[in-house]
Amino acid sequence: MFSIVLGDGAELRPLEPWQAEEFLAHVDRARDAVDPWVPWATRSTDLDSARATLQRYADLAARDAGRLYGIWLDGTLVGGTMFVSFDRAAGTCEMGCWLEPAGQGRGLITRAAEHLVDWAVRERGIHRVEWLTRPDNTSSSNVARRLGMRLDGVLREDYLHQGVRHDTEVWSLLASEWTARTPADR
């Protein structure tokens, strides 16, 4: 198994179906903080549904259509990043993230997302990386900014959550923008 050191006792690793118990315990801790933003938080309520969530991403990875990575802080799963979708032929992907309160304020998502963007652009030839978030999720919008993304626009009342429609911000980063970045830009 691979692991990417993020610093400060944190690492990025694949998150797979065999880790369903650990994932469920994490989702139970994180649910209130991530449920408004991450649809599978509502659906992962027991071991079977948590395993199904992880299996869905394992199936996406097998088709090269998405991936799921966990962030461990001092050995405890506290969040993660993902390719919600990944289309090598079209040269596009969508990234997402989540983090429980114990991991917040440490730059973990930004550091993990930088690794994913770099891999997608440099190794896989992705041309456009997208990041979708609700306008009231300022933490997510701030990560998009730190990654050098630009706000393309807002999809009005695009996202239905618990019977209420919410706007969706669409952020993007082009491969040429990513490869032109210098260490001072990060």
Question: What does the pLDDT look like over 44-56, one tens digit per residue?
Answer: 999 999 999 999 9
| Fold (CATH) for 4-97+107-181 | Aminopeptidase (3.40.630)
pLDDT beyond 80 at 183: no
Question: Of the ranges 11-15, 33-37, 136-140, which one carries the lowest mean pLDDT score?
Answer: 33-37
Residues forming beta bridges with residue 154, ordered by sequence position: 169
On the 0-12 / 13-18 / 19+ scale of CB atoms within 10 A, 79 is buried
CA distance linking residue 137 with residue 151, whole number of Å:
14
pLDDT at 184 exceeding the cut of 70: no
Q: Among residues 87, 98, 1, which one has the least CA distance to residue 42? A: 98
Q: What would the pLDDT profile of 83-123 be if each residue is shown by its tens digit?
A: 999 999 999 999 999 999 999 999 999 999 999 999 999 99
Strands 4-7 and 76-87 come out as unpaired
Beta-carbon neighbour count of residue 179 at 10 Å?
Answer: 10
Q: Percent of the chain at pLDDT above 70? A: 97
- Alpha-helix runs per DSSP H in 35-180: 39-43, 47-62, 108-118, 138-146, 175-179
105 phi-psi bin (left φ>0, alpha ψ -120 to 50, beta other) = left
Is it the case that residue 186 has pLDDT exceeding 70?
no
Banded pLDDT at 39 (limits 50, 70, 90): confident
Q: What average pLDDT does the structure give for the chain? A: 94
Pairing of strands 67-73, 10-14: antiparallel
pLDDT at 160: 87
Task: Match 């596009």 to its residue by tokens.
Answer: 92
Its pTM stands at 0.93
Residue length of the chain: 186
Q: d(Cα 48, Cα 170) in Å, to the nearest integer?
A: 32
Q: If pLDDT is split at 50, 70 and 90, which confidence band does 1 have?
A: low
H-run or E-run covering 43: helix 39-43
Measured between alpha carbons, how far is 184 from 186 in angstroms, rounded to an integer? 5
Residue 66's pLDDT is 97
What are the sequence ranges of the domains in the chain? 4-97+107-181
Q: Is the predicted pLDDT of residue 60 greater than 70, yes or no?
A: yes
Half-sphere exposure in the Cβ direction for 19 (13 Å, CA): 18
Query: What amino acid occupies position 63?
Result: R
- Check whether 151 has a pLDDT greater than 80: yes
CB 28 within 8 A of CB 77: no
pLDDT at 162 over 90: no
